[in-house]
Amino acid sequence: MILREYLPSIDHSLCRRCRKCEEICPAAAVSLVQEEKRMAVDPGRCIDCQRCMDACPENAITMLPRKADRVLRIDLSCLDPWEIKRLCRRVGLAPGEAVCACSFITARELAGAVLLGARTPEDVCAMTGVRRGCGIYCLVNVFKILEAGGVTPEERRKSRLYHHPLDPLDIPEERLREIDARFPQFRILDDVSLIRKFRGREMLEEA
């Protein structure tokens, strides 16, 4: 469970409607309301990542405390645990594995979001809080789980940080050794070996 305490407030006297905030938002929580010709934030989707505030060239966005914290929690109790396991295993993830190094969201929560109706990476983000930090490593798992759930996300838009990086376990062994020789400081072989061990153990425990 994650609590979100802040919400962007847009100063419309400063806003030039450049839509940079809309482009950067990982939860599709801010958008241009055409009829009103102004940007609006959806409090029910915002995960308080603050990217829009950083991206605004006019300093028109301030993060203000919400009246009540937003609780981000996927209610797994109403879902079939075997369906969750099935989705996770289909993409080689252990259900209890943290798929996001920034938010510690687990694979089972991503699967839960898909089973509860998420249809885009932004939906998964808005429902779980994943992609709240770097938004890079976790994204590959968001795509994998969506696709395992039979969802083909709409065309990937550059503006929403869609670059589908590889899971380290998808990289061929030979390439991993090359990377390790060139960039030993990243210790990629150690990382891969730890991920393999963790996934193997979790799969056995969950069997």
Mapping DSSP onto H, E and C, the string for 74-87 reads CCHHHCCHHHHHHH
**121 binds ligand SF4 per the rule CB under 6 A:** no
Region binding ligand SF4 by CB under 6 A among candidate stretches 10-18, 88-96, 150-158, 167-175: 10-18
Taking the complex as a whole, how short is the minimal distance between the CB of residue 142 and ligand SF4, in angstroms? Answer: 15
Among 2, 46, 110, 127, binds ligand SF4 (CB under 6 A): 46
Among 15, 98, 171, 195, binds ligand SF4 (CB under 6 A): 15
Region binding ligand SF4 by CB under 6 A among candidate stretches 13-21, 77-85, 87-95, 182-190: 13-21
Among 33, 34, 39, 203, binds ligand SF4 (CB under 6 A): 39
As a whole number of angstroms, the distance between CA 74 and CA 59 comes to 34
Q: At what angle do helices 188-206 and 173-182 cross, to 10 degrees?
A: 140
Taking the complex as a whole, how short is the minimal distance between the CB of residue 1 and ligand SF4, in angstroms? Answer: 18
**100 binds ligand SF4 per the rule CB under 6 A:** no
Report 52-81 residues binding ligand SF4 (CB under 6 A): 52, 55-56, 58, 60-61
Q: Are 110 and 140 in contact (CB under 8 A)?
A: no
Element (H, E) at 6: strand 2-10
> Any idea what DSSP says for residue 172?
-
Report 127-156 residues binding ligand SF4 (CB under 6 A): none
Beta bridge partners of 98: 106
Whichever of 48 and 123 has its CB closer to ligand SF4, that residue is 48
As a whole number of angstroms, the distance between CA 132 and CA 72 comes to 12
Residue 7 CB coordination number (10 Å): 18
Whichever of 25 and 188 has its CB closer to ligand SF4, that residue is 25
Q: Are 50 and 187 in contact (CB under 8 A)?
A: no
